């Protein structure tokens, strides 16, 4: 197969990459860029651990061909915040003890961000949060603390102090 050039913006930084036509976005992020926060697991869009934001929308990078993101903007967990300036979702996940093994958390946080960005300023119900996160599986928890964290982050992002 013949390689081609892929131009893409990842976490605000322009990249020009030489890729194979059959490579997925997940392969490019992990293998070419070294973004290890995007996890690899089922490779069938069943578990959600490979979730990234494609122009703000949550997508499974394991089934998206890299060529499909030509000229577009991708956000991975590495682009959401940094240790000194955590995104409200990252801070809430820590505060609420929503991180256990951590494997699903990047996908969970990015799915939550996409959901909250689609509903700015609104406090979603616990059921709405659960439905928004349904595409990302967690084998360590019953999701209670994760839902608590997303609800708290929604309040913070709306400019309100979270209720305990």
pLDDT at 92 over 90: yes
Q: What is the 3-state secondary structure (H, E, C) of the chain?
A: CCCEEEEEEECCEEEEEEECCCCEHHHHHHHHHCCCCCCCCCCCCCCCCCEEEECCEEEECCCCEHHHHCCCEEECHHHCCECCECCHHHHHHHHCCCCCCCCCHHHHHHHHHHHHHHCCCCCCCHHHHHHHCCCCCCCCCCCHHHHHHHHHHHHHHCCCCCCC
Residue 1: pLDDT band with limits 50, 70, 90: low
List domains and CATH numbers for the chain: 4-79 (3.10.20.30), 88-157 (1.10.150.120)
Could you tell me the pLDDT band of residue 107, with boundaries at 50, 70 and 90?
A: very high
pLDDT of residue 141: 80
Structural tokens at position 19: 């890729």
Q: How confident is the model at residue 117 (pLDDT cuts 50, 70, 90)?
A: very high
Q: What is the pLDDT of residue 88?
A: 96
Distances (CA, A) of 81 to 54, 88, 93, 104: 17, 9, 13, 17
Q: How far apart are CA 1 and CA 3, in angstroms?
A: 7
Residue 94, pLDDT above cutoff 80: yes
Give CA–CA dist 107/13, Å, rounded: 20
pLDDT digits (tens, 9 = 90+) for 16-36: 999 999 999 999 999 999 999
Per-residue pLDDT tens digits for 30-57: 999 999 999 999 999 999 999 999 999 9
Give per-residue pLDDT as tens, 120-152: 988 999 999 999 999 999 988 889 999 999 999
| Whole-number Å distance between alpha carbons of 70 and 15 | 10
Angle between helices 88-95 and 105-118 (to 10 degrees): 130
């Amino acid at each position: 197969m013949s390689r081609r050039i892929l131009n893409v913006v990842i976490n605000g930084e322009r990249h020009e990459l030489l890729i194979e036509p059959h490579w997925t976005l997940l392969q490019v992020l992990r293998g070419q860029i070294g973004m290890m926060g995007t996890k690899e697991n089922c490779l069938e869009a069943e578990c959600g651990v490979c979730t990234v934001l494609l122009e703000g929308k949550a997508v499974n990078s394991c089934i998206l061909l890299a060529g499909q993101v030509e000229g577009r903007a991708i956000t991975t967990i590495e682009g959401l915040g940094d240790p000194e300036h955590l995104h409200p979702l990252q801070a809430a996940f820590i505060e609420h003890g929503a991180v256990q093994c951590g494997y699903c958390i990047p996908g969970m946080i990015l799915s939550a961000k996409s959901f909250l960005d689609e509903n700015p300023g609104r406090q979603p119900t616990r059921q709405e949060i659960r439905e928004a996160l349904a595409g990302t599986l967690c084998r360590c928890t019953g999701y209670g603390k994760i839902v608590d964290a997303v609800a708290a982050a929604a309040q913070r992002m709306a400019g309100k102090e979270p209720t305990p």
